[in-house]
Structure 1
Amino acid sequence: SLQNCLLSTFTRRCISSRAQKLENSVWTVFTPLAVKTNAVNLGQGFPDFSFHPSVLKNYQSIEAHMMHQYCRSSGDLPLTTLVSKLFGHDLNYDPATEIVVTAGATNALYTILQCHIEEGDEVVLFSPHYDAYPVQVEQAGGKPVYVPIEEPKDEQDALDSNKWRIDPNRLEKSITTKTKMIVINNPHNPLGKVFTREELEQIASIAKKHDLIVVSDEVYEYLVFPSSPVQHTRIASLPGMRDRTITISSAGKTYSNTGWKIGWMAGSEALVDSCAKSIQYQIFCQASPLQRAVTRCLEQDPTMAIPRETAIYLEERYNQLKPLLESQNMMTVRPYSGYFTLSRIDHIRFPRAENSANTRDYDFCLWMPQGVGVCAIPPSAFYAHEHKHLADKWARFSFAKMESTIAAAEAGLNKLKKYI
């Protein structure tokens, strides 16, 4: 109708060209699908288990506390002081000027990109990547440049996340005169890879050679599994990297309370001062009571024993899920941190339209909730268009779940036998 046509024209005129490029994320498809089909949700990476009793107690204790008004815009000073201590004496971040509290880690990255990326600047992303990375780069006017974390050619090696590697020569060739930043996720989602010091040194060398900023997303830093042969290293701690690195982390992943949305960034004042100012005009400050609750968690747990207990639990849940998948020949990529594993699906002959425009992994994950009652996420969502084919034979499963949730998936996964 004419009215709809006029409304459509009005809408296009009112919405910015940047916003018109936005699409719904993969979560808006698969989470509702899991709910609609009553499938066991091993897709989205949120813990469905209760967090540590002391974390809940710290939250409840805030009810009677007077900390219910605005706090300092860049972060409640008691919290930034304790976050500074987490980074240690070597990095020695000033809690007043070099730590900025944000509305979760995603907001931290958004703010960093808005404050450091000019129109046309290039930002190197390692794929697979968190799906928000390229969207946020483009929202800042930048151009994402993708360097794949390469899957080993040997099939057995491909089942070890730490053997997936970045080719430093390929990274070097991706750098141009327009490159301004490298974003790294360590430990990595969705692989569960923990980067070795040698790998980080290669990235650092290239960053220093080309005078680049490095943003290191380290939200899974305290969730490295006891079995990991590699311990987490901060790229900011390497020689010459402190003043060119901004590190992002999150209380949500650390304490399994993702809904609190308390994150932070740490970096030299020269790098984060503009971010602190930007926060004033975005959210002004993140929820003061929740900041104080996180402060109490850190005060009571200076050795980070609680998240390390969570890491033990998560590895146990992976070890529970692994045989359920592999009994269907869905071999898994062993993670050493985080919430996720990739599992092979190329041998499964599920019903699929011959003319489907989707990648194979996407169609598989669309079919799974209705077909067998289990929800997974297509890892092609974490690749650029030109690299989506690299995810064709994989599906991503979350094991950040209760033992009973994973057990409930067994019956559904067993239904896959008829499609093998």
Structure 2
Amino acid sequence: MSRSDRKDPASLHNPYFNLKPGQKDIWTLINETAAKAQADDPNTKIVNLGQGFFSYNPPEFAIQAVDEALHQTQFNQYAPARGNINLLKQIANHYSKSYGREVPIEEVQITTGANEGMFSVFFGFLTPGDEVIVFEPFFDQYIPNIEMTGAKVKYVKIRYPEKLNTETVNGEDWEIDWESLESSISDKVKMVVINTPHNPIGKIFNKQELHRLGELVIKHNLILVSDEVYENLFYTSEFPRPATLESLPELRERTLTVGSAGKSFAATGWRVGYIQGPASLIKYVTAAHTRICFSTPAPLQQAVAQAFPQADKLNYFENTRKDYARKYELFVKVFDDLGLPYTIADGGYFLLVNLSKVKMPNDYEFPEDILSRGTLDFKLAYWLIKEIGVVGIPPTEFVIEKNRVGNGLENCIRFAVCKDDTILEEAVKKLAMLKDYL
């Protein structure tokens, strides 16, 4: 049948988007479930610790900066494709202080959120037939962003620590499958993607891990993309970065670092991100960004440019880390009391909790869109919303389909703690009800 014989214009869709009938993405599925549960029982408040958006406003100095920018004519027009010069200088200064060396603005590209920044990285370097190594569990946006370039994803596990089934662990208990990593590298592999601090684990890759990974990247002439959007939320004594490894300084010449003003200033809706790397690589990121969206919202760029020096002056990032350490302390107590193990977060704002001790009723009824996912964590997430009133995310969504069943993550739920203390306190009260199901 010729193309002209087809009567349905929808048949002309990109075959990459072969959507399953009725299949909802994870965020729609969980949020709609929560909304319906709230509507079904208006007297019971559903506490949403699912998606990683903040329940509170950015700091006042950042909001004021937006207002000031909106009243200046030049910031209501197109920004340069490279980025607002004021913001470029501030981001370069931010990395200069973090790296302990001078970072010029030629090593920075402003993007429309970190996600579009990574999309620009992928489109700037990948072509059909290329391969990219991604560690699983992974942030789900990586996969379509890579595959839409025509490149193929090769998955390497960060091994689930079996002791998490019975006891609380830390980030270093989650280990890269190094043998699988080395065997995955071929002539087609062009890039490796890491996420540190890691979503959903909360792991920060230590210097030894980064060095070992960096040696492979250099040996095989690869580009390392380091997604560091939670860079200002680390609870360890230091935050190692691939671009600052003293033991492997040449790694910085092939590292592209991803940052996010949205994560840094509790302003995910502003969609301001940035990529840092050698100028020889950044120019290709700029070329792709220019074609994807041309420029990032001008008033919000200016607001972030004004917010950074204020953040330094007020010790905003350090104080935020202290606030989050306290939020974790408040939240994990209920799991300690119940004897439910979790991964202690080195950074970020997620907590991965093992709920294998929780016994749901055997005859509990689940809707088809939950059953069709085929894994226990989706049932757990649904049951928690309906019966406990707390929203979490099933983490098997962050591994490939063939690895979901039988994976230890099936017993886990990811909770986001980027919420007001009152919301976390309400969640703790509700989660305490789990004692009746142990």
CA distance in 2, matches of 1:307, 1:46: 18
> Aligned partners of 2:257 and 2:133: how far apart in 1?
16
- Aligned residue for 1:335, secondary structure, equals coil
For residue 103 of structure 1, what is the amino acid of its counterpart?
T
Rounded to whole Å, the distance in 2 between the matches of 1:148 and 1:305 is 37
Question: Structure 1 residue 326 and structure 2 residue 333: aligned?
Answer: no
Residues 410 and 242 of structure 1: CA distance in aligned 2, closer, same or farther (over 3 Å): closer
Q: Superposition pairs for residues 212-223 of structure 1, below 5 Å? A: 212-223=222-233
> Displacement, 1:274?
2.0
2:145 to 94, 116, 136: 136
Whether the 8 Å CA contact 1:93–1:268 is kept in 2: the answer is no
**1:65 correspondence with 2:72:** yes
Cα shift readout 1:229-270 (whole Å, capped 9, x = no counterpart): 4x1122022311122111110001111111111000011222
Q: What letter matches 1:34 in structure 2?
A: A
2-side partners of 1:157 and 1:86: how far apart? Answer: 38
Give 1:367 deviation, angstroms.
1.9
- From the superposition, tell whether residues 306 and 74 of structure 1 become closer, same or farther in structure 2 (CA, over 3 Å): same
Aligned residues: 410
Letter in 2 for 1:360: L
Aligned counterpart, 1:114: 123
1:84 aligns with 2:92: yes
Within the alignment, does 1:11 sit opposite 2:10 as a pair?
yes
Match runs of 1:210-359 below 5 Å: 210-225=220-235, 228-229=236-237, 231-238=238-245, 239-302=249-312, 305-351=315-361, 356-357=371-372, 358-359=374-375
Q: Is the 8 A contact 1:361 1:379 kept in 2?
A: yes
Match of 1:47 among 37, 43, 54: 54
Q: Which amino acid aligns with 2:380?
A: F
1:186-205 Cα deviation digits (max 9, x unpaired): 11111111111111001100
Question: Per-residue deviation at 1:79?
Answer: 0.6
- Taking every aligned residue pair, what percent have the same amino acid on both sides? 29
Aligned to 1:197: 207
Distance 1:218 1:101, change over 3 A: same
Structure 1's 29 and 211: CA in aligned 2 closer, same or farther, altered over 3 A? same
Q: How does 1:93-104 map to 2 (within 5 A)?
A: 93-95=103-105, 97-104=106-113
SS at match of 1:214: strand
Mapped contact 1:47–1:256 kept (Cα < 8 A): yes
Q: Distance in 2 between matches of 1:217 and 1:303?
A: 26
Greater shift, 265-274 or 302-311, is seen at: 302-311
State the Cα distance separating 1:71 from its structure 2 match.
Answer: 1.6
Which residue does the alignment assign to 2:27?
27
SS at structure 2 position matched to 1:404: helix
2:423 to 402, 405, 408: 405
Task: Tell me by how many angstroms 1:140 deviates.
Answer: 1.3
Asked if residue 362 in structure 1 is aligned to residue 372 in structure 2, the reply is no
Preserved CA contact (<8 Å) 2:117 2:289: no
Equivalent residue, structure 1, for 2:3: none
Report the Cα distance in structure 1 between the residues aligned to 2:293 and 2:24, rounded to whole angstroms.
Answer: 23
Distance in 2 of aligned mates of 1:17 and 1:304? 50
Partner residue of 1:151 out of 155, 160, 172? 160
SS in 2 for 1:241: helix
Q: Distance in 1 between matches of 2:168 and 2:146?
A: 30
Cα separation, partners in 2 of 1:149 and 1:258, compared to 1, 3 Å: same
The one-letter code matched in structure 2 to 1:17 is P
SS at match of 1:159: coil
Whole-angstrom distance in 2 between the partners of 1:164 and 1:157: 13
Moved more, 234-243 or 399-408: 234-243
Larger deviation, residues 62-71 vs 118-127: 62-71
Amino acid of the residue matched to residue 10 of structure 2?
A: T
Q: Distance in 1 between matches of 2:222 and 2:264?
A: 28
- Contact 1:93 1:267 survives alignment (8 Å): no
| TM-score normalised by the chain length of structure 1 | 0.92
Kindly indicate whether the alpha-carbon contact (under 8 Å) linking 1:168 and 1:202 is maintained by their aligned counterparts in 2. no
Q: Which amino acid aligns with 2:80?
A: R
Matches of 1:263 and 1:122, distance apart in 2: 25
Q: Which blocks of at least 5 consecutive residues in structure 2 are unaligned?
A: 1-5, 39-45
Aligned match of 1:3: none
Retained in 2: the 8 A contact 1:101–1:286?
A: yes
**Residue 176 of structure 2: aligned partner:** 166
Whichever residue aligns with residue 125 of structure 1, its letter is V
Structure 1 Cα separation of the partners of residues 234 and 350 of structure 2: 12
Instruction: For residue 264 of structure 1, give the secondary structure of its aligned residue in structure 2.
Output: strand
One-letter amino acid of the structure 1 residue matched with residue 343 of structure 2? V
User: Is the CA contact 1:158–1:333 (under 8 Å) kept in the aligned structure 2?
Assistant: yes
The residue type equivalent to 1:367 in the other structure is W
Would you say the 8 A contact 2:168–2:341 is kept in 1? Answer: no
Cα root mean square deviation, aligned: 2.2
- 8 A Cα contact 2:196 2:227, kept in partner: yes
- In the superposition, the TM-score normalised over structure 2's length comes to 0.88
Provide the secondary structure at the position in 1 that maps to 2:342: coil
